[in-house]
Structure 1
Amino acid sequence: MDHAELTTEQVLKRDIPWETYMTTKLITGTCLQLLRRYDNRSESYRAALLDDDGPAYVRVFVNILRDIFKEETVEYVLALIDEMLTANPKRARLFHDKSLANEDTYEPFLRLLWKGNWFIQEKSCKILSLIVSVRPKTHDGIIANGDASHSNKKSTTIDDVLKGLVEWLCAQLKKPSHPSRGMPTAISSLSTLLKEPLVRSSFVKLDGVKLLIPLISPASTQQSIQLLYETCLCVWLLSYYEPAVEYLATSRTLPRLVEVVKGSTKEKVVRVVVLTLKNLLSRGTFGAQMVDLGLPQIVQNLKAQAWSDEDLLEALNHLEEGLKDNIKKLSSFDKYKQEVLLGHLDWSPMHKDPWFWRENMTNFEENDFQILRVLITILDTSNDPRALAVACYDLSQFIQYHSAGRIIVTDLKAKERVMKLMNHENSEVTKNALLCIQRLFLGAKYASFLQA
């Protein structure tokens, strides 16, 4: 059978020759005795054994994974551990029992992440993620189990484990080992592990944030909704980490999150996206972008729906108030700047307001006339007739109101771009391109006379 499609149930039907392993001294007599008591027993019987002697069984399982490399046996022991933890996730704490202080319980799973087939990789990831997440927190965070520092053996530190896990998870996001399960396995594990500061740091350093962005899109099937939810959960956890926020600010994350929250009906998805937006609201230009993306109206629509989650309702209220504050804080030039930088030009009132142009001439000089340069880029790159018409008009306004407007616009090589648009198929574009050229060649007063 294809190892990628193996199930735990199928693996657990195998007969493993434990006696042979004892004969070849790969396991001890005590180990064999414990396995005979545990193997092929009912779940309730195994539960009683784990209640009485759980750490001893963990030692047996870890030692087998460390010393025996036969694939069928490795799969079998991983299936036993997976079954044990699935029945009761709290059993993961058994791996941190003080009696295992000298056992390197992390190493076999970390090694198998890279060495095994998909069944082995998937189980190792799931088990290791759970074991790590329930570990007792130490002051330095580097001891593998208990107080293993007095051991002569070099133990795998928690830093080794977390970094190794993140590397494997990023590798799965780039090129999954399994076509349908690689990505969901990685995202599910990340949604737990990104609570760890070291994981956030390693994930950002490995450029992992950009691997999440394409997964933020509206979902319909149950499986895709779960993947979307866990991806958004990852982004929410990253929204508490400044270097990750800096990356989110320069990517398409915000428009994607807004698109998801606008179209999703699944409460847990809406909740985690709204909490993420709430976190980002006060950072950098996120608030202004949210206003530009129409989030205030979306929040109003969401508030009108019957949600049962109190945290979601509270976050929506917080988001609503924060967006109102942002709208108040945004000066007319801030709004204009956002409009230009996002390329969403429209005939909002400020474009034709003489006061706006007289008051903001010095603002246009910021960053070596950045806004003018972006307007000129829009003339080259936009396919939207409205944006082209408004860009031409704004350049003509700058020429009219800035004392050196004609010289500056000419030096920025705008004339050639505008002239090309004089033959545009859209009459609004040709009209405003003509106005701009008139002001460049003839001067502001004469152009105004011609326009009238």
Structure 2
Amino acid sequence: MLQENPLRAKYFHQTPDPESASSLDPYTVFLRLLQRQEWVAQEKAAKLLTAIIDSRPMKSLAFNNGILSSDPSSALQLASFGGPDPAEAHISSFVDWLIGQMKRPSAVNKSVPISISILAVLLRERGTRQLFLRAGGVQLLPSMIKSSNSPANSQLLYELCLCAWQMTFLAAGADALGKAGIVRPLVEVTRVAQKEKVFRIAMSALRNLLDRPELHDTLAPEMVDAGLQKIVITKQMQAWGDDDIVELLKYMDEQLKHGIKVLSNFDKYKREVASGQLDWSPMHTSEAFWKEHADKFEERDFMVLRALLKLLESSREVKTLAVACSDVGMFIVHHPQGRYIVNDLRGKELVMRLMAHPDPDVQKQALLTVQKIMITRDKLEFLTGSSS
């Protein structure tokens, strides 16, 4: 019925018969159906509930402005906007169910696409964005975008990025997205997207994050480090059918050229260690880098070195383990107290374990680092000096 004419959803909001004590509002009826075991019933109820919520006649100004009755500090604001939205509690329950489906799908390959498609509709309202943020939905988006980034999932990917984009219009939502690590997944979408609408919505979300003054200094360097500037330059050479994309790229190019500090090498190194994935870039092999920056590892009680040693303990990625072993060795060589500091932080024990690793490169790097831990400073200087 609603597929044929979505406007018919308004009939669910007709005033119930006051003479009937059994009259139920439409929200309660369909929220109950979401608890059925059969996915078919859940899916139909969810789609109907979406149409009913979207077509409700008494949308409050408070809800449209993101003011929730469940917020104790909002009483005065609610009154000034004419009171709470009658459907707020029902929308909240529905959002909770949708997030539950994102975490633990009832139907494999079906629950997540349906839930994201529904959220893309519901998040048009500022109040729903607040409910989604409060329920922890924002933290799920980065990993879902990353895992869905392929041409085969273009519609799901578009709607995931659409949800992220809508959340960037909420200050707290944008902040939560940044902290959850949304930048790199979105940048990667712009790198590989084949459909214009997917590229446009991902780039638009990045623009909104960049335009927030309170996030600019934190997220702009991350965008540069993720390669967004190169992507923008490359994409500007393409022919686009959408003039909005041309303007968007021009704007991002100007912002990234003139408004972003270029990361220092050590800033890049810290970010790479924090990401948990290391590669054989020049930072890891350059003697000049280590001579210049070895003393910076002392900052914040050797925070970066501790993170590096944590990778030796917890990472399962072969390249990361090999590079981390090499980095520990480089620190020992170039810091006056390197071998003692590494010993105090259990680094010797962690590296020695990796000498028995099944990968030959990890074994090799672990052996070289253990040698640097074991020999004295004067012999170490002689050894590294004779090999350079």
TM (normalized to structure 2)? 0.74
Paired residue for 1:84? none
248-257 or 400-409: bigger deviation: 248-257
Match of 2:97 in 1: 171
Distance 1:434 1:167, change over 3 A: same
1:334 and 2:263 are equivalent in the alignment: no
User: Post-superposition shift, 1:179?
Assistant: 7.9
What corresponds to 1:287 in structure 2? 220
Distance 1:339 1:202, change over 3 A: same
CA distance in 2, matches of 1:109, 1:66: 15
Asked if residue 127 in structure 1 is aligned to residue 52 in structure 2, the reply is: yes
- Return the alpha-carbon distance in structure 2 between the equivalents of residues 428 and 417 of structure 1: 16
Structure 2 unmatched ranges of 5 or more? 34-40, 69-81
Q: Structure 1 residue 173: deviation in Å?
A: 3.8
CA contact (8 A) 2:229 2:253 kept: yes
Work out whether residues 13 and 56 of structure 2, in 8 Å CA contact, stay in contact via their aligned partners in 1.
Answer: no
- Measure how far apart 1:296 and its partner are: 3.3
Q: How does 1:226-237 map to 2 (within 5 A)?
A: 226-237=155-166
Deviates more, 1:188-197 or 1:392-401: 188-197
Q: 1:170 offset after TM fit, Å?
A: 3.0
1:323 Cα deviation after fit: 4.0
Match of 2:323 among 369, 390, 394: 390
Residue of structure 1 equivalent to 2:37: none
- For 1:409 and 1:344, how far apart are their aligned partners in 2? 21
Per-residue CA deviation, residues 126-184 of structure 1 (Å, 9 max, x unaligned), is 1321336x9574799799xxxxxxxxxxxx95444234213203303424788887655
Map of 1:21 onto structure 2: none
CA distance in 2 between partners of 1:138 and 1:112 (Å): 25
Amino acid at match of 1:302: K
TM-superposed deviation, 1:301: 3.6
**SS of alignment partner, residue 276 of structure 1:** helix
**CA distance change for structure 1 residues 353 and 65 in 2, over 3 Å: closer, same or farther?**
farther
Query: What letter is aligned with 1:406?
Result: R
The verdict on how the C-alpha distance between 1:288 and 1:185 changes in structure 2, with shifts beyond 3 A counting, is same
Cα offset for 1:424?
A: 4.7
- Per-residue CA deviations over 1:221-249 (Å, capped at 9, x if unaligned) read 6xx54343222111011123343334333
Alpha-carbon displacement from aligned partner over 1:318-363 (angstroms, at most 9, x marks no partner): 3334444687521111011112211332333333444433443442
108, 111, 128: which one pairs with 1:199?
128
Aligned to 1:209: 138
Q: Give, as a single letter, the amino acid of the residue that structure 2 aligns with 1:108.
A: D
Paired position in structure 2 for 1:104: none
Determine what percentage of the aligned residue pairs are the same residue.
35
Alpha-carbon distance change, 297 to 60 in structure 1, aligned in 2, over 3 angstroms: closer
CA distance in structure 2 between the aligned counterparts of 1:67 and 1:115, rounded to whole angstroms: 23
Query: In structure 2, what residue type is equivalent to 1:210?
Result: Q
2:306 — aligned with what?
373
The 3 A distance-change label for structure 1 pair 363 and 240 is farther
Encode CA deviations 1:56-94: one digit per residue, 9 max, x unaligned.
xx7996124777799xxx9xxxxxxxxxxxxxxxxxxxx
Query: Which of 271, 283, 298 is equivalent to 2:231?
Result: 298
CA 1:179–1:369 in structure 2 vs 1: closer, same or farther (change >3 Å)? closer
* Contact kept? 2:28, 2:90, Cα under 8 Å: no
What is the alpha-carbon distance in structure 1 between the residues aligned to residue 351 and residue 172 of structure 2?
40
Counterpart-to-counterpart distance in 2, 1:422 and 1:181: 46
Matches within 5 A, 1:152-163: 158-163=84-89
Structure 1 distance, partners of 2:233, 2:247, is 13
Distance (Å, rounded) in 2 between the aligned partners of 1:354 and 1:212 = 40
Separation in 1, partners of 2:257, 2:181: 23
Distance 2:258 2:342 in 1: 35
Q: For each residue in 1:178-203, what CA deviation from the matched residue of structure 2 results, as whole angstroms up to 9, or x when unmatched?
A: 88876555434433443433322221
Q: 1:110 aligns with which of 27, 49, 67?
A: 27
Which deviations, in whole Å up to 9, do the C-alpha atoms of 1:366-422 show, x marking residues without a partner? 232111112112222334444333322322232233332222110100101222333
* Alpha-carbon distance in 2 for matches of 1:269, 1:191: 14
Consecutive unaligned residues of structure 1, counting only runs of 5 or more, are: 1-6, 13-42, 51-57, 75-106, 144-155
Q: What is the aligned partner in structure 2 of residue 421 from structure 1? A: 354
Q: What is the aligned counterpart of 1:314 among 247, 260, 269?
A: 247
Q: What CA RMSD, in Å, does the superposition of the two structures yield over aligned residues? A: 4.1
- Higher Rg: 1
Q: Is the 8 A contact 1:66 1:108 kept in 2?
A: no
